[in-house]
Amino acid sequence: MGAKTGLLVFADGDVPGPLRQVGAADLDEATRMMRRLYPGCEIEEAGGSTLGEGVYPPNGTTYAASWSGVEIICDQRVMIDFPSRLPEHLVAASAGRRLVLHAMHSVVDWLAFAVWEDGRLIRSLSLSPDHGIIENIGEPFSFELPYWAGDRPADVFPWPGEEEEPYALPFHPLELGEDALRALCGFIREGRPEPEDVDADSIELHGFRVTDPQAPDTAEKEAELRKAMERMGPPRIYTMGPDGSLVEQDSLEI
């Protein structure tokens, strides 16, 4: 499983219904929405994407669209460990509407999702095997119940040579994440599509470069990263041994 999402959806009701009806998104409407939701930021038009491909944009890029009844923001900045701490102005923008946050990262098996109704948080869940349950607010939705009941145990295999240990959670976050994405937004990132799923690949989103003048300078962050990499030793490369174990190669042979 390799799915990643950073998704925020504002809707007048359940999200899947309006998404099945949308047509081409107007650029001016999307730009006005961006300026409303990113106050104080510099916003420039960039290349767009689709909902199927753009739900996890590059850093600094936002994919967005606005239609009557539903608005979408795809941005890594909404991938927060505690969904209940979503910036207040974003929650306030959902007054009288439903707000859905969905975020997951396959590298660390992390999932977070949350739902607000008219600005009131009714459900928030965030968890990963490394950190356990980070946040668990409100009553679980029906699509969650088989996971909490133990009916969807994690099917995880250890790396070659490692001892098999029980998975740190009773289920795999990314499996629940796909079910959450389908139930809350009408589509999935991985797995077998169902006939009633939203065709996310057909929904085009506009692209924007978003710069926060108050954020740390990109050049400074890159310089810090280069210094950290210089302090690291040479890469350690492994191959599979005859017995299935991982064997480190001599760096002189590389």
Whether residue 107 lies inside any domain: the answer is yes
Residue 198 structure tokens:
């939203």
Reported as type and span, the H/E element at residue 238 is: strand 238-240
Whether residue 70 lies inside any domain: the answer is yes
pLDDT at 242 over 80: no
Whether residue 226 lies inside any domain: the answer is no
The residue to which tokens 């009916």 are assigned: 151
Gap between the Cα atoms of 143 and 35, Å rounded: 35
Reported as type and span, the H/E element at residue 206 is: strand 204-211
Whether residue 190 lies inside any domain: the answer is yes
The answer to whether the beta carbons of residues 99 and 240 sit under 8 Å apart is no
Residue 221: its pLDDT value, please?
Answer: 55
Average pLDDT over residues 128-144: 96
- pLDDT tens, residue by residue, 180-221: 999 999 999 998 889 999 999 999 999 999 998 877 655 565
Whether residue 82 lies inside any domain: the answer is yes
| Structure letter (DSSP) for residue 14 | -
Q: What is the pTM of this model?
A: 0.82
Residue 50 structure tokens:
């689709």
Residue 253 structure tokens:
């042979």
Residue 89: its pLDDT value, please?
Answer: 96
Residue 46: its pLDDT value, please?
Answer: 96
Number of domains in the chain: 1
Residue 240: its pLDDT value, please?
Answer: 43
Given pLDDT bands bounded at 50, 70 and 90, which one contains residue 34?
very high
User: Which structural domain range is residue 118 located in?
Assistant: 4-211
The number of beta carbons lying within 10 Å of the beta carbon of residue 31 is 16
Q: Which SS3 state, helix, strand or coil, does residue 108 take? A: coil
In order of 33, 61, 63, 77, 197, the CA distances from 39 in angstroms are 10, 16, 16, 14, 34
Whether residue 196 lies inside any domain: the answer is yes
Min mean pLDDT across 36-45, 94-103, 132-141, 165-174 is at 165-174
Whether residue 180 lies inside any domain: the answer is yes
Nearest alpha carbon to residue 182 among 197, 195, 172, 201: 197
Whether residue 145 lies inside any domain: the answer is yes
Nearest alpha carbon to residue 127 among 168, 173, 170: 173
Gap between the Cα atoms of 58 and 102, Å rounded: 17
Given pLDDT bands bounded at 50, 70 and 90, which one contains residue 253?
very low
Which tops the pLDDT comparison, 46 or 160?
46
Gap between the Cα atoms of 203 and 7, Å rounded: 14
Given pLDDT bands bounded at 50, 70 and 90, which one contains residue 154?
confident
- Where would I find the H helices in the chain? 16-21, 27-37, 51-54, 88-92, 145-148, 173-185, 218-231
How many residues belong to the chain?
Answer: 254
Query: What is the DSSP track for 80-107?
Result: -S-GGGS-HHHHHTTTTSEEEEEEEETT
